[in-house]
Amino acid sequence: MANPLTPDSRPYDALLLVSFGGPEGPDDVLPFLENVTRGRGIPRERLEEVGAHYHLFGGRSPINDLNRRFLEALRADLAGAGLDLPVYWGNRHWDPYLRDAVQRMAADGVTRAACFITSAYSSWSSCRQYRENLYAAADGVPDAPRLDRLRPYFNHPGFVEPVVDGALAALADLPDDVRDRARLVFVTHSIPTSMNDTSGPHGGAYLTQHRDVASVVAERVHAVTGVSREHDLVFCSRSGAPHAPWLEPDVNDHLAQLAAGGEVAAVLIPVGFVSDHMEVVYDLDTEALATAEKVGLEVRRAATVGTDPRFVAAVRDLLLERAAAERGESVARAAVGEIGPLWDRCPVGCCANPRGDVPAIGGEAAT
């Protein structure tokens, strides 16, 4: 069996970091939100309401700066492992755009690139849509490289272990008299219930994957602290029409309910996010912590994985395991929890687009 840490990236001659993008100044906010919501009929007044969140932070999302730091750490990690591999970066909704990244790779002579997406779970919006975006970005570009999406990594130890440590650090920051009574509240981005129902090849994967990771983290925290804690999965950042059902409960409603039920403390664990972008710094650090203070609940927010060296190294591990598999070698794939490592190529029908079939990279061919 091949060692997945062997520094051989063949057949890949580049790595592409794929992310969401965000505004970098006040004048960018509305154009960015228009990009995000194009075709969905969202009224301008609603975009302005959401835009106000960004203006609390100078009209600048943290996400691009966070990706720049991640790129720096990733390039250093690859070089330290003896991998002379260029790393590109492209966003779905803001500069640098995916199409520009593909054009740069083509101009540089890249023939095949592995794509790491800053979204760890399965659903249309968190996986399939990125695969569609990658197809569209390469479509019609002369000499565009082949693009391969690296597998979902929600249960890779390099992601999960920093989440555990973040939870432990947040617990340690709570007052002594409430620490052992603190509840673990795992938070992720809400999606329409219909999207969860079609996530993965058989439906329900989005929720199942989050619950699996939450159970692993809760068990690890128990093992370290010796305290058994209740844990919950809650949601933030709902953006759909009020009449359409989305995954619940909302984190603010849940915190209020915990306080009403006599709970005294909680740790918010942003397990659905890889860095402190807007859903974390506004939805959690601003709104949710204000709710906690209002209802008298002692709350700390755990760190996201960010540029933790274990998470950065996980990208290298995913790259090398996929490269070995493409060379026809057997590889050991790291995963924790009950689900196990997911596929390199998504099954037919996986995470179906709610608006109909759209071409995407990285899927099995229909038979």
Q: Give me the pLDDT at residue 367, please.
A: 52
What is the Cα–Cα distance from 350 to 128, expressed in whole angstroms?
8
Domains, the chain, ordered by start: 14-153+307-326 (3.40.50.1400), 157-301 (3.40.50.1400)
- Write down the pTM of the prediction: 0.95
Q: Which CA distances in Å does 226 have to 93, 171, 352?
A: 44, 13, 42
273, 230, 276, 224: which is closest to 63 by C-alpha? 276
Contacting residues for 187 by C-beta, under 8 A, at least 6 apart: 233, 234, 235, 236, 251, 268, 269, 270, 271, 272, 284, 288
Rounding to the nearest 10 degrees, give the CA dihedral for residues 69, 75, 79, 82: 130
- Spell out the per-residue pLDDT of the chain, length 367, in tens: 344 456 899 999 999 999 999 999 999 999 898 898 887 777 888 888 889 989 999 999 999 999 999 999 999 999 999 999 999 999 999 999 999 999 999 999 999 999 999 999 999 999 999 999 999 999 999 999 999 999 999 999 999 999 999 999 999 999 999 999 999 999 999 999 999 999 999 999 999 999 999 999 999 999 999 999 999 999 999 987 778 899 999 999 999 999 999 999 999 999 999 999 999 999 999 999 999 999 999 999 999 999 999 999 999 999 999 999 999 999 999 999 999 999 999 999 999 999 899 999 999 986 5
- HSE at residue 366, side-chain half, CA atoms within 13 A, is 6
3-state DSSP assignment of residue 363: strand
**Between β-strands 265-269 and 231-236, what pairing exists: parallel, antiparallel or unpaired?**
unpaired
Write out the two tokens for 81: 């492992």
